[in-house]
């Protein structure tokens, strides 16, 4: 049994006696556009729009989102390709230059994540932004992209699981009539990510207490689901000749590590929400506004002493004039007495 059947028709017995046979590509004149690419691009666009819209809630700006994409997309693609080639080197050993032929397929999701995190760290250090806060925001984009992106696997009839008779099985029927009933693992992961996105969306609105919390929940949620779903797939990458599925191992490690950190922060560290990047930004802006408002009053304050000083300087002159008059009177009086 192969790992992809792009020529097969698709049916779900639980939904009735019907099938579909969508073409994996669209022909526009001389151009051939793959549905996988269209779906990935749509997921990417929705992810960017979502992150840009919510960026202020994390102390960031839409421009931060657009800027990091310039660096993030190339590094994510490179990371995805390296991840795949590293554990499938036997496919490239005889022709190493074919590592660059990414259009022939072969990427890994965890490589995408690694490349994107690297880009994000570089950008945050350069711009002096909070890395955990940025991770909280950007991984909403990732789970949106993953939710939609798996439907590209559906169009290609790939990334499915072992043969099964489970009630939600997907049946792939070849042109010669051969049929394979398999686990629709692309659907499992898409639905799992959709549920995770919905929960984290509402959680982050009112219950986020520290930077990096949503990121840890993402790793915990995605790692837990992927750990089981990966075990059903027929196209897994393996850790060299060990028989260990790489993505399953990575998912297990990420799940344990993120769960441990979430529990540590919840019961031991207990971070102060006021120290979140967005709250520090708000406090700094409020302090700056207060200083701006108090500046005119402080600038006018020295004028009062100057007025007082002038009055003080002028005040003695009046008594001096009053004193001069009696002297003149006294002088006249003494002259009269003498005379």
pLDDT for 49 equals: 97
With 50 as the cut, is the pLDDT of residue 336 above it? no
Residue pair 137/51 in contact (Cβ under 8 Å)? The answer is yes
Identify the CA nearest to 116 among candidates 77, 87, 85, 146: 77
Q: Which residues pair with 25 in a beta bridge?
A: 34
pLDDT for 230 equals: 95
pLDDT for 313 equals: 52
Please list the alpha-helical segments (H only) found in 157-245.
Answer: 185-206, 213-229
Residues whose CB is less than 8 angstroms from the CB of residue 87 and which lie 6 or more positions away in sequence, other chains included? 108, 237, 238, 239, 240, 246
Residue pair 190/151 in contact (Cβ under 8 Å)? The answer is yes
pLDDT, tens digit, 9 for 90 and up, residues 203-243: 999 999 999 999 999 999 999 999 999 999 998 888 878 88
CA distance linking residue 204 with residue 66, whole number of Å: 22
DSSP 8-state symbol, 116: H
Residue that the structure tokens 């344990």 belong to:
256
The mean of the pLDDT values for the chain is: 87
Average pLDDT over residues 111-139: 94
With 70 as the cut, is the pLDDT of residue 312 above it? no
Q: ∠ CA 301-305-308 to the nearest 5 degrees?
A: 135
Confidence of residue 320 (pLDDT cuts 50, 70, 90): very low
Q: Which helix (H) or strand (E) holds 66?
A: helix 62-86
| Percent of the chain clearing pLDDT 90 (strictly above) | 66
pLDDT for 335 equals: 43
pLDDT for 323 equals: 45
With 60 as the cut, is the pLDDT of residue 114 above it? yes
pLDDT for 329 equals: 44
pLDDT for 235 equals: 87
Residue that the structure tokens 């969508």 belong to:
22
Average pLDDT over residues 117-144: 95
With 90 as the cut, is the pLDDT of residue 121 above it? yes
Sequential DSSP letters for 205-223: HH---STTHHHHHHHHHHH
Q: ∠ CA 65-144-54 to the nearest 5 degrees?
A: 40
Higher pLDDT among residues 321 and 189, named by residue: 189
pLDDT for 169 equals: 97
pLDDT for 300 equals: 54
Token pair listed for 65: 């989102």
pLDDT for 38 equals: 94
Residue pair 82/109 in contact (Cβ under 8 Å)? The answer is no
Average pLDDT over residues 134-163: 94
| Percent of the chain clearing pLDDT 70 (strictly above) | 87
Where in the chain are the domains? 9-271, 279-315
Residue that the structure tokens 């799992």 belong to:
192
pLDDT, tens digit, 9 for 90 and up, residues 283-308: 988 888 888 887 665 555 555 555 44
Token pair listed for 123: 């950008």
Q: How many CB atoms lie within 10 A of CB 334?
A: 10
pLDDT for 44 equals: 94
Confidence of residue 316 (pLDDT cuts 50, 70, 90): low
With 60 as the cut, is the pLDDT of residue 138 above it? yes
Token pair listed for 327: 């002297």
CA distances from 189 to 93, 112, 151, 223 (A): 32, 17, 10, 11
pLDDT for 118 equals: 95
pLDDT for 96 equals: 85
Q: Which residues pair with 10 in a beta bridge?
A: 20, 172
DSSP 8-state symbol, 268: I
Token pair listed for 151: 């439907």
Q: How many CB atoms lie within 10 A of CB 164?
A: 15
* Beta strand spans in the chain (E): 9-11, 25-28, 31-34, 170-173, 179-182
């Amino acid at each position: 049994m192969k790992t992809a059947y792009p020529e097969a028709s698709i049916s779900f017995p639980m939904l009735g006696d019907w099938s579909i046979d969508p073409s994996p590509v669209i022909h526009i004149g001389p151009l051939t556009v793959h549905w996988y690419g269209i779906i990935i691009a749509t997921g990417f666009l929705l992810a960017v729009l979502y992150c840009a819209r919510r960026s202020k809630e994390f102390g960031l700006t839409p421009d931060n989102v657009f800027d990091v994409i310039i660096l993030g997309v190339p590094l994510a693609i490179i990371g995805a390709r390296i991840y795949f080639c590293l554990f499938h080197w036997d496919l490239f050993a005889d022709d190493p230059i074919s590592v660059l032929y990414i259009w022939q397929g072969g990427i890994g999701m965890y490589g995408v994540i690694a490349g994107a995190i690297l880009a994000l760290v570089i950008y945050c250090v350069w711009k002096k932004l909070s890395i955990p806060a940025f991770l909280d925001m950007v991984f909403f984009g990732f789970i949106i992209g993953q939710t939609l992106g798996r439907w590209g696997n559906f169009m290609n009839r790939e990334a499915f699981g072992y043969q099964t008779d489970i009630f939600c099985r997907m049946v792939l029927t070849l042109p010669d009539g051969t049929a394979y009933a398999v686990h629709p693992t692309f659907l499992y992961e898409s639905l799992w990510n959709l549920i995770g996105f919905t929960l984290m969306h509402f959680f982050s609105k009112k219950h986020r207490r520290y930077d990096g919390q949503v990121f840890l929940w993402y790793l915990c949620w995605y790692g837990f689901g992927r750990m089981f779903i990966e075990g059903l797939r027929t196209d897994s990458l393996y850790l060299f000749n060990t028989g260990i599925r790489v993505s399953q191992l990575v998912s297990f490690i990420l799940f344990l590590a993120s769960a441990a950190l979430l529990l540590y922060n919840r019961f031991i560290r207990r971070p102060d929400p006021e120290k979140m990047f967005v709250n520090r930004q708000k406090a700094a802006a409020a302090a700056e506004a207060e200083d701006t408002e108090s500046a005119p009053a402080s600038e006018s304050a020295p004028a009062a002493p100057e007025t007082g000083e002038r009055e003080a300087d002028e005040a003695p002159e009046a008594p001096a004039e009053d004193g001069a008059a009696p002297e003149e009177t006294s002088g006249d009086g003494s002259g009269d007495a003498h005379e």
